[in-house]
Chain A
């Protein structure tokens, strides 16, 4: 044993090993510390919100209209508005985004123009949301005459999420193997038949996951909706796409800006509801992805 290790000894290299191992450990420790710091910040945030808001959370809080008296105020119109607007946004963004992605990925040629469009879509995803609000105000509220309605809000948010939906749909389409398309073409399928019957079903989980993640960004947006004229005090439920509306983030913003402690508690409770809504959406995205993956394998 001893002779073997002597035979293997290379002193000039061995001297460095201990130092390299120490560095290895140091980096592991630093990475762990950074992770813990981030988690601690998140935990503190969640704790503070739960601490302030949990006591205020009740069925009455969910089903009451807003009020001048903090203890009577609820989030019924804001919650209904948020759900209504996000469903409508999905309804607009999904067909438009998927169609655009299909064109770019399957039909479009690799021209200079196509690359310019691609670059611009990637850039649009990074444009501040208030800019979309101004666009929505000009286009939907004024020119198309939607007014400060749910339709105008959903259209604006659809524009906001569209770049992300297009990018994630293209990504999903790109993961569909070429061999599948060739198999379909070889049987005499047209391009559209191949896309509709073979490519889209395989890409669907990826598309839906991208859509839901994009929508969970939209559901927290405040600025563009305030810009297009969403209300802060709504004593009724939206009953059509033409209704005026409010959403949870606007309600929260409104309560947070008031001096009374009771309203701050209302805001915290509303944040809990918004977080729950977000988590539900993200969980749905994961569930959808798993379900489709399982179906494809078994």
Chain B
């Protein structure tokens, strides 16, 4: 990255040797005819989409279009909001996560989530990462916990910055560091999928760049779905982009196709900034 260039060049482009390799990836998340209701109001209408493994998929669209709501149906985070209802199926690794036999606690461990506003626990940096290991019984010895905490912080590119103050409060580090801590915390419990709800919207450009580079690195090991308001960010980090409008999925395709030659007029108007 050359100094003086404020705009980060497309990270995803570095792994775009040919379109065939990405389209060949197995389907990780297969959503069929998903409807979502807040009380009587239908917030998502007949969403069907296939998200592939080890790629970054971005959801874009104007505020209130349902992209965050849709993201939260993928780990059943909407379950905790009273008065909501879902129909349709969401298959992750060919298992319907809305099957009554599915244990939502186990699901959320496998489908991690990072939120718009970083929400570290008011505990030490170490305990933030160790929390998930402890509650899930994933590490038995102290040494094992320490090892996983270090590995997770390294994976989130935060280790070097915090290794000397692991037992300081997580609230004392910067906003960008807090968000990477939340990513480390999510990685610690070894998820398969990582959902990110506008993870950089509250961060400055440098911190945003850190997060974007991190997303690029993480897709080797995780399937990543990111909601973003920032179209440049979607263009930089994602391989596939889905455009949502008024609770419907308008278009879903390779990112460069969405931004250069979208099939729908609505998509074109949105990505060229004519509305939204």
Contacts and interface: CB of A to CB of B under 8 A. Distances in A.
Given A187-B131, A188-B105, A182 B115 contact: yes
A-side interface mostly: helix
Contact of A186 (B82, B108, B120, B172): B108
B135 interface: yes
A63 interface: no
Interface in A101-128: 109-110
A180 B119 CA distance: 6
A298 interface: yes
Contacts of A180: 119, 121-122
A261 interface: no
B100 interface: no
Given A187-B108, A187-B109, A110 B182 contact: no
B113 A189 contact: no
Interface of B: 75, 77, 80, 82, 105-106, 108-110, 112-113, 115, 117, 119-122, 131-132, 135-136, 169, 171-172, 182, 185-186, 189
B80 A181 contact: yes
A16 B171 CA distance: 52
Interface extent on A, as a size class?
20 to 34
Interface in A165-199: 177, 179-190, 193, 197-198
Contacts of B185: 183, 187
A239 B111 CA distance: 57
A182 B121 CA distance: 11
Interface of A: 109-110, 177, 179-190, 193, 197-198, 201-202, 296-298
Contact of A182 (B80, B131, B135, B136): B80
A190 B119 contact: no
B76 to A, nearest CB: 9
Contact of A185 (B108, B121, B169): B108
Contacts of A110: 82
A274 B128 CA distance: 45
Contacts of B182: 183
A183 B121 contact: yes
A298 B172 contact: yes
Given A187-B112, A187-B135, A197-B135, A296 B186 contact: no
Contacts of B109: 187-188
B136 A198 contact: no
